[in-house]
Amino acid sequence: MANDFTFARIPEIHFGPGRLSQLPKLIRHKGSRILLVTGSASFLRSAHFETLTRALKQDDTHCFHAAVSGEPSPSFVDQTVERYRDERLDWVISIGGGSAVDAGKAISAMLLQQGSVSAYLEGMETKKHDGRKVPFIAVPTSSGTGAEATKNAVLSEIGQQGYKSSLRHDQFVPDIALIDPELMLSCPPDVTAACSLDALTQLLEAYVSTKASPMTDALAMSGLEHGAAGLIPAFEHGAADIAARSHMAYAALLSGITLANAGLGVVHGFAGPIGGFFEMPHGVVCGTLMGEATRITIEALFEDLEKNRGALEKYAKAGVLLSGKASTSLRQDCDLLVQTLQDWIERMRLPRLGSYGIARPDFCKILDKTTSKNSPMALNRKQMAAILEARL
């Protein structure tokens, strides 16, 4: 018998190489006034941008444009909303990495509201959002956060009092997710590595989550299978390998769907505080901590094998899938998972925490704000500190 569960709605999904060309047709039925939200550089320099804007112009689409640099802040969202609130927009369309998608998602959610987005953020909430938004389309150009399928937008203020917090509502799931792996071919190796490991972290954490269901398990395992097939080829020769990019685009999409329904674990418990205090990209945080966090969690679970057997069997199954090796024993299959993750992290040269100015004296403030989220084992402060120490 399947345990009881609920499952959030997902976007209308258009997946496949060349799908960007369908965007003008997809938006016609709702109107021709759009705000295009992009990153500040790579997509704007690509031939895809010129082709798309030319097609939109031929369709008599009135296109405004906003560019976000780095992870979006509440002030960027507020300023953009103020600038375009009176333009009677029919669509907000984000084309870019997770930051551009989160920015566009928040802008679409705030165009029909009053006041600053900060008043609606989790943990700072003084107003309740009613869910009204301008229709939103997400077009990812990297395979990482899965934001094209989630109901939250992550906003950041970086500094000593910094934070990362979500604007969240069931209605914020994009109306359409258009996923074109051709847009990811030019993604550089370092960004590919961070994004790919972020997607795999999300899939693994959702799979072993205390909120997992048979439905999220099936999707997470499918995502891990495609991630295993595409991760190294995308990193090592991604610009020449559309199949690898397609595998990773699919894995990232499923990571967004599964995290929205099963939640995440301790790696993402670290990601919020670290990303708020330091200018360390989200994918790098997740990628660099993933191996050690998995190792220490598994060690803690084995301290009470019978109680935790279900979670350990999931880790073991993931170990066999990701390593491509035959199953031997529960312990060895779990070790396979840890070794595979650590090998990938080293092979893809994920930076350590110290590369972003993090030092041991910073551990205390990070740990003060870190939780295990929906991890199958609630780690104690000493165990969490050991994860940071191992990746310093």
Q: Give phi and psi for 226, each to the nearest 5.
A: -70, -35
Q: Where in the chain is the domain with CATH 3.40.50.1970?
A: 12-184
Torsion of CA 86, 89, 95, 100, to 10 degrees: 40
What does pTM read for this prediction? Answer: 0.96
Tell me what percent of the residues of the chain surpass a pLDDT of 90. 92
Query: How do the pLDDT tens digits run along the chain, 392 residues long?
Result: 467 899 999 999 999 999 999 999 999 988 899 999 999 888 998 999 999 999 999 999 999 999 999 899 999 999 999 999 999 999 999 999 999 999 999 999 999 999 999 999 998 889 999 999 999 999 999 999 999 999 999 999 988 888 999 999 999 999 999 999 999 998 999 999 999 999 999 999 999 999 999 999 999 999 999 999 999 999 998 888 999 999 999 999 999 999 999 999 999 999 999 999 999 999 999 999 999 999 999 999 999 999 999 999 999 999 999 999 999 999 999 999 999 999 999 999 999 999 999 999 999 999 999 999 999 999 999 999 999 999 99
> Which of the 8 DSSP states describes residue 3?
P
Q: Is 95 exposed, middle or buried (0-12, 13-18, 19+ CB in 10 A)?
A: buried
DSSP characters over 301-360: HHTTHHHHHHHHHHHHHHHHHHHT-----HHHHHHHHHHHHHHHHHHTTPPPGGGGT--G
How far from the centroid of its chain's Cα atoms is residue 303's Cα? 31
Q: Where in the chain is the domain with CATH 1.20.1090.10?
A: 189-390
CATH of domain 189-390: 1.20.1090.10
What CATH number does domain 12-184 carry, 3.40.50.1970, 3.90.226.10, 1.10.1040.50, 3.90.650.10?
3.40.50.1970
- Model confidence over 76-107: pLDDT tens digits? 999 999 999 999 999 999 999 999 999 999 99
- Taking the C-alpha atoms of residue 388 and residue 327, their distance in angstroms, rounded to an integer, is 30
